[in-house]
Amino acid sequence: MDIAVIGTGYVGLVTGAGLADFGNDVICVDIDATKIEALKQGKIPIYEPGLDKIVSRNVNEGRLQFSTDLPEAIRSSRAIFIAVGTPPKADGSADLRYVEEVARTIAKYMNGPKLVVTKSTVPIGTGRLIEKILGEAGNGFKATVASNPEFLREGSAIEDFMKPDRVVIGASDRESIDLMKEIYAPLHSLEIPFVVTNVESAELIKYAANAFLATKISFINEIAVLCELLGGDVQDVARGIGLDTRIGPKFLQAGPGFGGSCFPKDTSAVADIARRYGYEFEIIEAVLRVNDNIKQRMVGKVVKGLCGSVQGKTIGILGLAFKPETDDMRDSPTIPLINGLQQQGAKIRAYDPQAMDNASRIFKDVKFCHDAYETADGADALVIATEWNEFRALKLERIRGLLKQPVIVDLRNVYDPQRMKSEGFTYVSVGRGERA
């Protein structure tokens, strides 16, 4: 099928490459001419493992193209996937301006029947809004709307797209459902479950999934606080509850709070949607409050590691991205951490294997280093903020020799507290027996 994917970011590029790999002819469009030019030259604008291979394979085999010409992409496609950003507004609601702009452009240039698919995460009711915009075009052509939320995780996006736990299709007419099944035909034959429902339910599934996962994270982070108060070990508690198949082991890793481009904005958006309909989604409101508190608590951990003050101290930060295997800095917990430490007078050195370009646009007065050892050199404390694999096997003796004081604050519980003690470190981690 001829498909246009509008918006060539983390989701649009993976979707475009993935749909091309399924055998469709795909044109990926973006208003960012620099991004499209880079892609045309074979350069991938984001860090996502395996993405370069799947993009180049499909470009070479003639199924994947890049363009800034949205009208032409609309005209030449049967299905149009909208994958533009839906960032949060100041009040927590999703900003739909990019989605609406694309819908208006489709309405203006459509030249035959079109299936318009929302891949972006959008508030419940957006499918109907797009339908209305398309209906107002008055050009006699019929466009139908489907919701097809994306569940990929940055860092394993290709695997998640090519072998998802499920494909959700929200549509109200048979033809749209059949077209969507045709587009995803290889997944159908792999017996991946398809959840076919109406547009509103599909839109809500995406928010409900992220809200539920965020709830698990805030829950275990509060258990970590209790462990610190009571002398427990959150790792053992997580394992103890996670082995219960009704609970499951995933998303029970205590840490510095959830971040990234999805959980904070989607939980805020679902709370906002509920409020607009006169309902207070109390669990989610609490999840958001807990997450903010947990992020602030992390600053306190570094202060505690340095006996009550970071004023004039140099702190080395290992990892800046919101999680490993991505360069995405959106809503990373390292942002409030570094800002909080700087406000208390600390000097910051930092290293991340992939996110330093993006981080350099966010932070002021941070010295970016080439590796973990340069970061530790002369620092009063070293903070493990993102659990990249290369921080899991640090040469601890070398680190101890480089640090001014042997203080490690491990916000990802990468190391064993006993071992760190025996290696001569003052070691602070999350929810592991150290009384707050």
Binding site for ligand NAD (CB under 6 A): 6-12, 29-32, 35, 70, 83-86, 98, 101-102, 120-121, 150, 152, 154, 261-262
Min CB(59)–ligand NAD separation in Å: 18
Q: Which residue is nearest to ligand NAD (CB)?
A: 9
Marked catalytic residue, from 28, 262, 307, 369: 262
- What residues contact residue 361 under an 8 Å CB cut-off, 6+ apart? none
DSSP string spanning 366-413?
EEE-SSHHHHHTT-SEEEE-S--GGGTT--HHHHHHHSSS-EEEETT-
Strand 25-29 versus strand 2-6 pairing type: parallel
Q: Based on CB atoms, which residue is closest to ligand NAD, 25 or 30?
A: 30
In this complex, which beta carbon is closest to ligand NAD, that of residue 220 or of residue 262? 262
Burial of 92 (0-12, 13-18, 19+ CB in 10 A): middle
On the 0-12 / 13-18 / 19+ scale of CB atoms within 10 A, 218 is buried
Smaller CB separation from ligand NAD, 65 or 235:
65
Write down the least CB distance from residue 187 to ligand NAD, Å.
Answer: 17
Q: How far is the CB of 119 from ligand NAD (least distance, A)?
A: 6
Residue reference for tokens 């549509």: 171
Q: Which residues of 104-130 are buried (b: 16+ CB within 10 A; e: fewer)?
A: ebbbebbeeebbbbbbbbbbbebbebb
Tell me how far, at minimum, the Cβ of 260 lies from ligand NAD, in Å. 7
Minimum CB distance to ligand NAD smaller for 83 or for 143? 83
Q: Shortest approach of ligand NAD to residue 109 CB, angstroms?
A: 12
The rounded distance, in Å, linking the Cα atoms of 314 and 348 is 6
d(C-alpha 45, C-alpha 200), whole Å: 33
Cβ nearer to ligand NAD, comparing 30 with 410: 30
Query: Is 262 marked active-site?
Result: yes
Among the residues of 190-254, which ranges form H helices? 199-230, 234-242
Least CB distance from residue 180 to ligand NAD, whole Å?
17
- Residue spans of beta strands (DSSP E) within 245-390: 314-318, 347-351, 366-368, 381-384
Structure tokens at 52: 């370069």
CA distance 190 to 322: 32
Listing DSSP states for 51-83 in one string gives HHHHHHHHHHTT-EEEES-HHHHHHT-SEEEE-
Q: Which is nearer to ligand NAD, 22 or 207 (CB)?
A: 207
Amino acid at 113: P
Comparing CB distances to ligand NAD, the nearer of 31 and 185 is: 31
In angstroms, what is the minimal distance from the CB of 203 to ligand NAD?
A: 11
C-beta separation of 384 from 391 below 8 A? yes
**Distance from chain centroid for Cα 55:** 21
Do residues 119 and 149 touch, judged by C-beta distance below 8 A? Answer: yes
Query: Measured from the CB of residue 282, what is the shortest distance to ligand NAD in angstroms?
Result: 24
Nearer to ligand NAD, 203 or 222 (CB): 203
Pull the structure tokens for residue 432.
């592991």
Point out the residues that are catalytic: 262
